[in-house]
Every structure is written in C-alpha cells, then in structure tokens.
Amino acid sequence: MEIHHSKHHQGYVNNLNAALEGLDDLAELSVEDLLRQIGSVPADKRQAVINNGGGHANHSLFWEILAPSGTGGEPSDKLLNDIVSTFGSADAARELFSTAAGTRFGSGWAWLVVDGSGGLQIYSTANQNSPLMEGDTPIIGLDVWEHAYYLKYQNLRPSYVSDFIDGFINWKTVNELYASAKS
Ligand code: MN
C-alpha cells in the first residue's frame, strides 16, 4: 500500500499537472469537477486527463474508504435499506460487486455509485475511467489493477476482493459520502 500510494498515485498527480500546463481555467478546478466536465478538456489532452485525473480521483477515494481490518463500522440504516431495495439483499449486492471486480478484464475499478437520479448502481470501469465522467458519484471504489494486489495476493484477485468487502471498507466514510451524494 505504501508503494501503491507513494509511487503509483504520485505518478498520476504529476502527469495530470503536466497535461494541464497552460490550461489555467481547467487547472483551477477540483479533479472531480474536471472529470465531470471532461468534454470541455481539449481533445489532444483529454485522454491524458482521463487516465491521470481519473487515477488521482480514484485513488483519493480509495484511500479514504479503506479502514484497518475490523475498524470500519457498518453501513448506515439508510444505506443498507437502499442497498436491499435496489439489489434485493446485501448478499446480492456483495455478489454483484464481486462479479464486477472479478470479471473486469485487465485493469480497472469496481464501483458502488450514486447515479444522476439518486439511485445506487454497481459496475466496473476500465483503466482509470471515473464514474464522475458519466455523472455518477462513486461512494465505494476498489482498485483491481494488478499493482493493487499482486504483492500480497499474487494472481488471486477474488481473495483480495472478498477480503476488501468483508474487512477493509470504512463504512463511516462511505455513509458520509452517501449522505452527501444524496443531498
Ligand atoms: Mn492503483
């Protein structure tokens, strides 16, 4: 995780800053707003901003929603009720998330997002593509790039995914993100 944070994440920040050189209006935006307005980024810079702005925003969320094992609390009543009414049960949501994370071919992320109409959705994206570009607000994101799990889990992505879901989600933060995405 230290290497992941100090080397991989820092690389995205440096490359994003390089891509935005000379684009002062865009450089002033938060990275989240930059991704929400990705269409306003000049075409020759857009892919660099998607890759590196996405990399920055996705990892920033990821660090925030991780907790040391067993300290992350529980989903709020509101979030749990909405998960059950959207996906059928907490187990069904868990299964959907695991499948999204497990079947993303190559590199990407699995997400629980609040969509533009306030509904919950679970899906994955390729590479560093951010749900913000689709008008969705991510409240849980799991990095399924090999660099995220290979040192500890080698090729066992499913073990990494189930350990994350069962032990390392900071629900206190996720509950706050959910409340603010709904307001
Ligand atoms: Mn990563």
Claim to verify: residue 85 and residue 165 sit in the same structural domain: yes
CATH value at residue 38: 1.10.287.990
Q: Which domain range does residue 46 map to? A: 2-64
Q: How far does the centroid of ligand 1 lie from the alpha carbon of residue 147, in Å? A: 6
Claim to verify: residue 31 and residue 85 sit in the same structural domain: no
Q: Say what the pLDDT of residue 147 is.
A: 86
Residue 69: inside a domain: no
pLDDT in tens, 130-158: 999 999 999 999 999 988 888 888 889 99
Residue with tokens 């992350």: 72
CATH value at residue 136: 3.55.40.20
Q: How far does the centroid of ligand 1 lie from the alpha carbon of residue 6, in Å? A: 11
Residue 71: inside a domain: no
Q: Which of 156, 154, 173, 169 is nearest to 94 (CA)?
A: 169
Q: How far does the centroid of ligand 1 lie from the alpha carbon of residue 11, in Å? A: 10
Claim to verify: residue 102 and residue 168 sit in the same structural domain: yes
Q: How far does the centroid of ligand 1 lie from the alpha carbon of residue 54, in Å? A: 11
Q: How far does the centroid of ligand 1 lie from the alpha carbon of residue 62, in Å? A: 9
What is the tally of structural domains in the chain? Answer: 2
pTM (2 d.p.): 0.94
Q: What is the mean pLDDT of residues 95-109?
A: 96
Residue 8: inside a domain: yes
Q: How far does the centroid of ligand 1 lie from the alpha carbon of residue 81, in Å? A: 31
Q: How far does the centroid of ligand 1 lie from the alpha carbon of residue 92, in Å? A: 26
Measured between alpha carbons, how far is 124 from 141 in angstroms, rounded to an integer? Answer: 9
Residue 47: inside a domain: yes
Q: How far does the centroid of ligand 1 lie from the alpha carbon of residue 13, in Å? A: 12
Claim to verify: residue 52 and residue 99 sit in the same structural domain: no
CB-CB contact of 15 with 59 (8 Å) = no
Q: How far does the centroid of ligand 1 lie from the alpha carbon of residue 170, in Å? A: 18
Q: How far does the centroid of ligand 1 lie from the alpha carbon of residue 85, in Å? A: 31
Is residue 117 pLDDT above 90, yes or no?
yes
Q: Domain ends where: 30, 64, 98?
A: 64
pLDDT in tens, 1-50: 777 777 788 999 999 999 999 999 999 999 999 999 999 999 999 999 99
